Amino acid sequence: MQQKSVAERVNSCADRLRSLRDAHEAGTYFEGPEALAAEVDRIVELAALVTVETIDISTMGVFPGNREGSMLVPADVHGLLGETFLVNGFNPHRWDCSALSVPLALKAGWLKANQALVASSDGLLPDISEMTHATGIGSHGTAALRAAKFPCKAVHASVAGADGLVSYGKVIAMQPSLRIPIEQGVQVRVIKGELEEAVPGIFQILSRLGNVSNSHFRLQTTLQSCARIHNIAAGIAKNGDVIDWDKVGRLASIGMAAPESEHVGKLCSFVQNWAGSERGEILQDLWAYEKTLTQKRFISASDLEVLGECDDQYHRIVPVHHHN
Among 22-36, 81-95, 155-169, 183-197, where is mean pLDDT lowest?
22-36
What is the rounded average pLDDT of the residues 106-116?
A: 95
**Of 21, 12, 323, 322, nearest in space to 201 by CA:** 21
Task: Give me the DSSP letters along 6-51.
Answer: HHHHHHHHHHHHHHHHHHHHHT--TT-HHHHHHHHHHHHHHTT-EE
Nearest to 140 by CA among 72, 70, 68, 89: 72
pLDDT level of residue 237 (50, 70, 90 thresholds) = confident
pLDDT digits (tens, 9 = 90+) for 38-53: 899 999 999 999 999 9
- Return the pLDDT at 113: 94
Between CA 119 and CA 172 the distance in angstroms is 27
Q: pTM for the full model?
A: 0.70
pLDDT band at 128 (very low <50, low <70, confident <90, very high): very high
Q: Is the pLDDT of residue 183 over 90?
A: yes
**Rounded mean pLDDT of 7-20?**
94
Is pLDDT of 198 > 80?
yes
Query: Which has the higher per-residue pLDDT, 213 or 155?
Result: 155
What value does the mean pLDDT take over residues 149-175?
Answer: 93
Residues 237, 254: Cα–Cα separation, whole Å: 20
> What is the model's pLDDT at position 216?
41
Predicted pLDDT at 278: 65
Region class of 257: left (phi > 0), else alpha (psi between -120 and 50), else beta = beta
| pLDDT category of residue 120 using cuts at 50, 70 and 90 | confident
Helix locations, the chain, DSSP H: 6-26, 33-46, 74-79, 86-88, 104-119, 139-149, 168-174, 179-184, 193-198, 202-212, 222-238, 245-252, 264-274, 281-290, 301-308
Confidence of residue 155 (pLDDT cuts 50, 70, 90): confident
Whole-number average pLDDT of the chain = 81
| pLDDT of res. 76 | 81
